[in-house]
């Protein structure tokens, strides 16, 4: 936030943005721009004819321009931070960010424009009203007063900070190493009700690992470890490597130190579904349950019931049993298991807390899937899923009105990613997956979706909070400006000056100044985002309404009064 | 006097709270029932539809539905204006009234077709029995029924399972007339005629104005129309002879709008929501009545002088109703977009007059017109979920349907168009040359008189503050345009929203629904209604009724 280069660039940038062609894109601020121009114009040309003090005209003109400039500055600072982040080695294409279509932002913009329109028409009405009420006072209400009133009342606070909020939101994603290609997806993230995750590489580490060795009844654990070690030393698959790692812990030192350069390796094949090694007269194999049993039986060996039973238990728990056999004798069972990533269970719990159902999708059989699902703490799972089924599932959920997020990395995930509302592809994933997704996670960490959801919610909540604040402010501003403007026509209106502001001029000037500086004061909130806690929605709503609604009602009364007192010391 | 006020107010609210749910349930049933059937009413219904050449099985999307609404409005205006412009040559004109001039005929036609029932004329001195009974009274039914029809289309949009159809406008309108408005009006007019309201087609003795009043009064109250048979409206003893008919007519003003809240709960299967909206409306109504009463109970006196009268501000009020019923009526009639009056609002003290204006300025959502009040309230509810949804970081969702950019646009347009019309109309009215000569008062009170007229027209209320001679070509045209804007510029956005929502599939019953179940939602809804109204009208109200009040 306090990086000097950012601010230096933002300062020049914000002045360049005073160009009316740029301002026109933000109708609310364009109205302020026009009002500032009118005020400055009348300051330079008619100042003697309008019966206002010079300090008042100058103050109002200066702070009307300041209002526009603060809004520009907010946007430039937000952009500057985004750029600085992008220069830190994260590839972020600025064109993409600018081309983002933000649905909710445009809905809010419509509301702000319509509100501004009401104020423009409403205050224009005051001219004929004043002429009707006071035909002998041609300058009962001056254009400067109307311009000041208009700028204070139109939602400049949110209008000025709206684009900064959006940019800062995307910037927060970039900070989490997530590249968003669509603003719609960021907003939709806050509404996600179902999260689909591919199992492998997403919930579990990409590969199964050997976790346990179960020796057969008459075999010592070291013997099994030795056999498993030898059977796997040439096995370059992740299963083989993890078996070696596990076996090393138990195997006898002589085996570990042995030289096996003369050993003959039996590679894994789809037909045999076994791999192994032949060292001298020892033929050691490890492999799938039925394949190994077949081999042992062919060699004339027996399969102990206990080992078979053990293998079945492992399979039922979602693991993959590998039988180890040494010269036709069953040595024991290696349990290969999916390792659920650390902390994922807790993060799924958090998701559940924020109303998101997690569904694991896997090509595994239902047993394995159920076991992993239980271990990872997902709410539901779909086993033996094909790419078509994934797509169909998303369509079905969407037809039920769910907002579906999908995290995937493989090419077979691409159709599903393209269909999902929020589609996060792992950076480690295939090109097809990345192209189909609307966000890419550079860290390939699926649980980051929680961050995306959080940021999406924050984005909306910040807009809502500042809109509420902006509108609640208006009540106090009315009580400051309206009595000041109208007491010349109707002296009996002075009791409405409930803040006891010094003079009509100080009252209007204080409101304009407050209105301008509040944009600057709220910039940190716009950049940081409003906090959304994991509480019931009604509690969050109550809290935010108290802070930004009731707060927005009270703060300007205090702020305007203080500024009025300050001005009063000098005038 | 305060007891009389409290008791009448409590009785009124109790009647609404007890009869409303029952009538609401019945309305929900008949509007959703399949066509056909053996009952007499079903036969009348299908017979009339056949007579009108309607194919009842035709389903309309929002565009077709809107076209039908505009067609009915246009035809209604043309026919009604023509009847007035040739009434001198038509039968049932015992007093021999002349043809009505074009600008007044147009104003009156728009007024009755848009359910405003603003009257620039005095009924007993301008319009023949034919015009009143054959021209105006049918429009009282049709305009109210059209309001229910559009509400029904809105409901279908909200609750549909991704289908573009909003129903059939002609069927909905006909159904509302024959099943709801006609039976209730028949009962009420018989009651009123039996209790002294005039009902005759002959000319009154000694030049006393009489006519077929009871039949028009019944629907004028029930259909939130408000156009009186006589100029003095329900202050006239032949329209409203005593306190009993007064209380019954009073309840009739709010009955259907209140019942529709409960119907809505049935239609969208969220009875709590319908009840919630009813309670919000009731709270506003009761507060309005309270302020109005506390203003009128004070006896006005000139500065420095002791008042010669006691018992509050009786100017412009009928002795047989007293201050309590006058205040309750004034608040109810402006709240419900009815517009019938039993006392002269111009003679209320400034704060009392302020209540009547403020409650219209809120957008005719405190019960409001038949159908129209509720659909405007639903627009506010949608704005509330928009703000509330943002505050909790969710894309806004109303009863399971997402409120996106398209809907938001029409919500806000539907909400602000009447206000824009009020403010624009006020500007134009004030620059009409010689406006002061049309007013009975200068200054702040004069401004109130003009403001009241444009508020009443653009919000389709139709009550008059009095004190403004609105029967000039300029004012008649201006108010006519405002009434048309206030009607169609809300109805068409409502139908556009219905169209947008209808094709969406409803979402699962997620936590977001919790928001609309919470008390907080209704508090927020009420605050938004107040804040939108206050932000729009604060300056003109300060210069009008508030400046007027502080002078005293």
Backbone CA torsion sign across A313, A314, A318, A324: negative
Band (B307; pLDDT cuts 50, 70, 90):
low
Cβ neighbors of A499 (< 8 A, separation 6 or more) are: A476, A479, A480, A507, A557, A560, A561, A564
Identify the pLDDT of residue A96. 37
Q: What is the pLDDT of residue A91?
A: 41
Which residues of chain A from 444 to 463 reach within 8 Å of chain B, CB to CB?
456-461, 463
Backbone angles phi, psi at A294, to 5 degrees: -60, -45
- pTM comes to 0.88
User: By the 8 A CB rule, do A314 and A335 touch?
Assistant: yes
**Interface pTM (ipTM) of the complex?**
0.92
Where does the pLDDT of residue B303 fall: very low under 50, low under 70, confident under 90, or very high at 90 and above? low
The string over A281-291, giving b where at least 16 C-beta atoms fall within 10 Å of a residue's C-beta and e elsewhere, is eebbbbbbbeb
Q: Which residues contact A369 (CB under 8 A, 6 or more apart)?
A: A199, A318, A360, A362, A381, A382, A383, A384
Nearest by Cα to A468 from A514, A419, A517, A522 = A522
d(CA A388, CA A256): 48
Interface test with A, best of B385, B389, B390, B439 (most A CBs within 10 A): B390
How far CA A376 is from CA of A354, A381, A382, A393, B384, in Å, comes to 17, 11, 14, 21, 39
Please say whether the beta carbons of B349 and B297 come within 8 A. no
Torsions phi, psi for A331 (to 5 deg): -95, -30
Q: Single out the residue of A38, A247, A222 nearest to residue A146, CA to CA.
A: A38
Q: Which residues of A are annotated as catalytic?
A: 198
Nearest CA in chain A to B435: A132
**Angle, helices B443-458/B519-541, rounded to nearest 10 degrees:** 130
pLDDT above 50 (res B96): yes
Record: contact B387-A468, CB cut-off 8 A? yes
Asked if A255 and A229 touch (Cβ cutoff 8 Å), the reply is yes
Question: CA of B346: how far to CAs of B265, B444, B464, in Å?
Answer: 38, 12, 8
Which pLDDT value is given to residue A191?
A: 82
Q: Which helix (H) or strand (E) holds A321?
A: strand A320-326
pLDDT, residue B124, reads 77
pLDDT, residue A154, reads 95
Nearest to A193 among B408, B423, B510 (CB): B510
Tell me the DSSP string of A481-495. Answer: HHHHHHTTT-GGGGG
CB B231 within 8 A of CB B344: no
Determine, for residues B550 and A107 on separate chains, whether the beta-carbon distance falls below 8 Å.
no
Q: What would the 3-class secondary structure string for B145-160 be?
A: HHHHHHHHHHHHHHHC
Of A153, A188, A490, the CB nearest to B547: A490
Q: Band of the pLDDT at B308, cuts 50, 70, 90?
A: low
**Backbone phi, psi, residue A180, to 5°:** -100, 130
Cite the DSSP H helix spans in A500-550.
504-528, 537-544
Asked if A70 contacts A519 with a C-beta cutoff of 8 angstroms, the reply is yes
What is the C-alpha separation between B372 and A185, in angstroms, rounded? 37
Q: What is the pLDDT of residue B385?
A: 92
Residues B531, A471: C-beta atoms closer than 8 Å = yes
Contact present, B394 and A190 (Cβ < 8 Å): yes
State how far the Cα of B363 lies from the Cα of B366, in Å rounded to an integer: 8
Q: What is the model's pLDDT at position B309?
A: 64
Instruction: Give the residue-averaged pLDDT of B412-440.
Output: 91
Q: What is the pLDDT of residue A95?
A: 35
For Cα atoms B411, B412, B413, give the angle at the middle one, nearest 5 degrees: 95
The reported pLDDT for the residue numbered A84 is 65
Closest CA to B139 of B107, B172, B117: B117
The backbone region for B92, taken as left when phi is positive above 0, alpha when psi lies in -120 to 50, beta otherwise, is: left
DSSP code per residue over B224-281: T----SSTTGGGSTTT--SHHHHHHHHHHHHHHHHHHHHHHHHHTT-HHHHHHHHHHH
Between these two residues, B182 and A408, which has the higher pLDDT value? B182
For the CA atoms of B183, B187, B188, B192, the dihedral, rounded to the nearest 10 degrees, stands at: 150
CA distance A133 to chain B (A): 5
Is residue A194 within 8 A of residue A356, CB to CB? The reply is yes
Q: Which chain B residues have a beta carbon less than 8 Å from that of A475? A: 531, 534-535
Other Cβ atoms within 10 Å of A206 Cβ, number: 12
Higher per-residue pLDDT: B509 or B19: B19
H helix count then E strand count, chain B: 22, 2
- The highest-confidence range among A98-107, B158-167, B259-268, B302-311, by mean pLDDT, is B259-268
Measured between its terminal Cα atoms, the distance across chain B in Å is 23
Q: How far apart are CA A78 and CA A166, in angstroms?
A: 9
Contacts of A484 in chain B (CB under 8 A): none
Rounded to 5 degrees, φ, ψ at A422 are -120, 115
Closest Cα in chain B to A540: B392
* B238 vs A409: CA distance, rounded Å: 82
> Which DSSP string do the residues of A148-167 spell out, in sequence order?
HHHHHHS-HHHHHHHHHHHH
DSSP state of B167: -
Cβ atoms of residues A444 and A426 within 8 Å: yes
Degrees to nearest 5, angle at CA B85 with B82 and B89: 105
What would the mean pLDDT of B78-94 be, rounded to a whole number?
Answer: 92
CB A440 within 8 A of CB A424: yes
What's the angle, vertex CA B271, arms to CA B268 and CA B276, rounded to 5? 110
E strand or H helix that includes residue A178? strand A178-180
Distance CA B150, CA B371 (A): 7
How many whole angstroms separate alpha carbon A296 and alpha carbon A330?
7
Distance in angstroms (rounded) separating the CA atoms of residues A191 and A456: 8
Do residues B372 and B143 touch, judged by C-beta distance below 8 A?
A: no
Q: B16, B2, B535: which is closest to B283 by C-alpha?
A: B16
Q: Which of B177, B179, B180, B170 is nearest to B57 (CA)?
A: B170
For residue A141, give the DSSP letter: S
Alpha-carbon radius of gyration of chain B: 22
Chain B from 328 to 387: CB within 8 A of any A CB: 383, 386-387
Q: pLDDT (tens digit, 9 = 90+) per residue, B193-244?
A: 999 888 888 877 887 888 888 888 999 999 999 888 888 888 899 999 998 8
Has residue B293 got a pLDDT over 70? yes
Within 8 A of A129 by CB-CB distance, chain B residues are: 426-427, 430, 447, 540, 543
Residues A150 and A65 sit within 8 Å (Cβ to Cβ)? no
- Shortest distance between the Cα of A103 and any Cα of chain B, in A, equals 6
**Distance from C-alpha of A323 to C-alpha of A311, rounded to nearest angstrom:** 8
**A534: closest chain B residue by CA:** B392
Per-residue pLDDT 10s for chain A (571 aa) are 567 888 888 888 888 888 888 888 888 999 999 999 999 988 887 655 556 788 888 999 999 999 999 999 998 888 887 776 554 434 443 333 333 345 677 888 899 999 999 999 999 999 999 999 988 887 788 888 899 999 999 999 999 998 899 888 888 888 888 888 877 788 888 888 899 988 776 777 767 788 888 888 888 888 888 888 888 887 777 788 888 888 888 888 887 787 777 788 888 777 778 888 888 788 888 888 888 888 888 888 888 888 888 888 888 877 888 889 888 888 899 988 888 878 888 888 888 877 788 898 887 778 878 888 888 888 898 888 888 888 999 999 888 878 899 988 778 888 889 999 899 888 888 888 888 888 888 887 777 887 888 888 888 899 999 999 999 999 999 999 999 889 888 999 999 999 999 888 999 999 999 999 999 999 999 988 888 877 788 898 999 999 999 999 999 999 999 999 999 998 7
Q: What is the pLDDT of residues B516-544, one digit of tens each?
A: 899 999 999 999 999 999 999 999 999 99
For chain B, say whether A479 makes contact (Cβ under 8 Å).
no
pLDDT at residue B22, rounded to an integer: 97
Q: Are strands A178-180 and A439-441 parallel, antiparallel or unpaired?
A: antiparallel
Give chain A's radius of gyration (CA, Å).
35
Q: How far apart (Å, rounded) are the C-alpha atoms in residues B377 and B379?
A: 5
Residues B313-369 have pLDDT tens digits of 888 888 888 899 999 999 999 999 998 999 988 889 899 999 999 999 999 999 999
Bridge partners (DSSP) listed for residue A195: A358, A405
**Which residue would you say has higher pLDDT here, A4 or B489?**
B489
Q: Count of alpha carbons within 13 Å of B118, Cβ hemisphere only?
A: 40
Residues in chain A: 571
Using a CB-CB distance cutoff of 8 angstroms, which residues of chain A are in contact with residue B527? 549
Number of residues that this document lists for chain B: 552
């Amino acid at each position: 936030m306090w990086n000097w280069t950012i601010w230096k660039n933002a300062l020049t940038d914000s002045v360049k943005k005073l160009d009316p062609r740029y301002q026109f894109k933000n109708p609310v601020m364009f109205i302020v721009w026009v009002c500032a121009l009118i005020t400055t114009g009348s300051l330079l040309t008619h100042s003697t004819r309008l019966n206002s003090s010079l300090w008042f005209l100058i103050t109002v003109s200066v702070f009307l321009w300041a209002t526009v400039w603060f809004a520009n500055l907010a946007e430039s600072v937000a952009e500057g931070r985004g750029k600085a982040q992008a220069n830190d080695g994260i590839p972020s294409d600025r064109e993409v960010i600018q081309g983002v279509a933000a649905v909710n932002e445009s809905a809010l913009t419509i509301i702000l424009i319509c509100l501004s329109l009401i104020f423009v028409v409403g205050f224009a009405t005051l001219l004929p009203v004043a002429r009707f009420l006071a035909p002998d006072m041609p300058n009962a209400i001056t254009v400067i007063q109307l311009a000041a009133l208009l700028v204070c009342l139109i939602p400049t606070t949110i209008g000025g900070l709206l684009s900064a909020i959006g940019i800062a939101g995307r910037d927060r994603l970039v900070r989490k190493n997530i590249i968003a290609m669509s603003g719609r997806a960021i907003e939709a993230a806050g509404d996600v009700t179902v999260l689909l995750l591919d199992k492998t590489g997403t919930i579990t580490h990409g590969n199964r690992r050997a976790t346990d060795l179960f020796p057969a009844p008459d075999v010592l654990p070291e013997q099994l470890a030795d056999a498993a070690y030898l059977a796997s030393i040439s096995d370059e698959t992740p299963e083989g490597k993890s078996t070696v790692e596990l076996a090393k812990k138990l195997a006898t030192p002589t085996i570990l130190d042995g030289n096996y350069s003369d050993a003959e390796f039996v590679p894994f094949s789809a037909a045999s579904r076994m791999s192994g090694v032949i060292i001298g007269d020892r033929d050691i194999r490890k492999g799938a349950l039925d394949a190994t049993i077949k081999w042992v039986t062919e060699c004339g060996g027996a399969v102990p019931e206990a080992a078979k039973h053990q293998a079945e238990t492992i399979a039922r728990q979602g693991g993959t049993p590998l039988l180890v056999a040494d010269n036709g004798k069953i040595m024991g069972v290696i349990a290969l298991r999916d390792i659920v990533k650390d902390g994922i269970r807790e993060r799924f719990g958090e998701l559940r807390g924020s109303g998101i159902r997690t569904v694991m999708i896997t090509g595994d059989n239902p047993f394995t899937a159920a076991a992993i699902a239980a271990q990872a703490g997902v709410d539901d799972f779909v086993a033996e899923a094909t790419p078509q089924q994934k797509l169909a599932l998303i369509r079905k959920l969407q037809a039920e009105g769910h907002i579906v997020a999908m995290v995937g990395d493989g090419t077979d995930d691409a159709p599903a990613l393209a269909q999902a509302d929020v589609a996060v592809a792992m950076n480690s994933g295939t090109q097809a997956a990345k192209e189909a997704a609307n966000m890419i996670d550079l860290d390939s960490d699926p649980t980051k979706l929680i961050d995306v959801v959080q940021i999406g919610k924050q984005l909306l909540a910040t807009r809502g909070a500042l809109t509420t604040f902006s509108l609640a402010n208006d009540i106090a501003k009315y009580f400051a400006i309206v009595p000041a403007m109208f007491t010349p026509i109707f002296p009996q209106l002075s009791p409405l000056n409930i803040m006891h502001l010094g003079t009509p001029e100080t009252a209007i000037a204080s409101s304009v100044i407050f209105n301008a500086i509040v944009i600057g004061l709220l910039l940190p909130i716009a950049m940081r985002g409003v906090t959304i806690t994991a509480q019931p929605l009604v509690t969050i709503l109550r809290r935010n309404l108290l802070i930004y609604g009731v707060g927005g009602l009270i703060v300007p009364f205090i702020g305007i009064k203080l500024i009025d007192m300050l001005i009063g010391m000098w005038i | 006097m305060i007891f009389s006020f409290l008791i009448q107010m409590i009785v009124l609210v109790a009647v609404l709270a007890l009869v409303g749910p029952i009538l609401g349930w019945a309305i929900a049933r008949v509007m959703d029932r399949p066509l056909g059937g053996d009952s007499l009413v079903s036969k009348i219904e299908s017979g009339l539809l056949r007579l009108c050449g309607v194919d009842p099985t035709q389903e309309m999307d929002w565009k077709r539905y809107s076209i039908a609404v505009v067609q009915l409005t246009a035809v209604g205006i043309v026919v009604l204006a023509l009847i007035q412009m040739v009434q001198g040559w038509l039968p049932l004109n015992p007093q021999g009234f002349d043809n009505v001039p074009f600008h007044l005929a147009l104003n009156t036609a728009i007024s009755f077709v848009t359910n405003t029932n603003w009257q620039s004329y005095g009924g007993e001195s301008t319009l023949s029995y034919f015009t009143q009974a054959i021209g105006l009274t049918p429009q009282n039914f049709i305009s109210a029924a059209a309001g229910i029809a559009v509400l029904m289309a809105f409901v279908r949009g909200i609750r549909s399972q991704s289908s573009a159809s909003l129903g059939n406008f002609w069927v909905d309108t006909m159904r509302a007339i024959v099943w709801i408005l006609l039976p209730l009006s028949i009962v009420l007019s018989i009651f009123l005629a039996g209790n002294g309201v005039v009902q005759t087609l002959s000319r009154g003795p000694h030049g006393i104005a009489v006519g077929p009043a009871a039949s028009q009064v019944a629907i004028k109250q029930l259909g939130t129309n408000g156009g009186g048979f006589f100029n003095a409206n329900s202050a006239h003893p032949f329209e409203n002879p005593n306190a009993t008919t007064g209380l019954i007519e009073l309840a009739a003003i709010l009955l259907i709008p209140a019942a529709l809240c409960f119907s809505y709960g049935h239609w969208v299967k969220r009875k709590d929501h319908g009840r919630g909206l009813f309670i919000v409306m009731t709270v506003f109504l009761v507060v309005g009545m309270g302020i109005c009463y506390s203003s009128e109970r004070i006896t006005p006196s000139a500065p420095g002088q002791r008042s010669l009268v006691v018992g509050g501000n009786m100017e412009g009020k009928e002795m047989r109703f007293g201050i309590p019923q006058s205040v309750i009526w004034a608040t109810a009639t402006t709240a419900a977009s009815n517009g019938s009056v039993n006392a002269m609002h111009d003679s209320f003290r400034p704060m009392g007059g302020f209540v009547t204006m403020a409650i219209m300025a809120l957008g005719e959502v405190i019960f409001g017109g038949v159908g129209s009040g509720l659909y405007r309230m639903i627009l506010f509810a949608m704005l509330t979920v928009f703000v509330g949804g943002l505050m909790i970081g969710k894309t806004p969702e109303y009863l399971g349907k997402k409120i996106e950019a398209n809907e938001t646009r029409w919500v806000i347009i539907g909400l602000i168009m009447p206000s824009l019309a009020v403010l624009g109309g006020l500007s134009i009215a004030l620059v009409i040359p010689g406006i002061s000569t049309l007013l009975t008062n200068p200054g702040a009170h004069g401004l109130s008189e003009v403001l009241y007229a444009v508020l009443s027209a653009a919000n389709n209320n139709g009550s008059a503050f009095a004190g403004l001679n609105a029967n000039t070509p300029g004012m008649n045209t201006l108010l006519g345009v405002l009434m048309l804007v206030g009607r169609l510029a809300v109805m068409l956005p409502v139908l556009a929203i219905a169209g947008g929502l209808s094709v969406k599939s409803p979402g699962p019953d997620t936590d977001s629904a919790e928001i609309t179940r919470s008390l907080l939602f209704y508090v927020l809804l009420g605050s938004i209604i107040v804040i939108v109204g206050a932000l729009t009208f604060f300056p003109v109200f300060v210069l009008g009724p508030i400046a007027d009040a502080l002078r005293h």
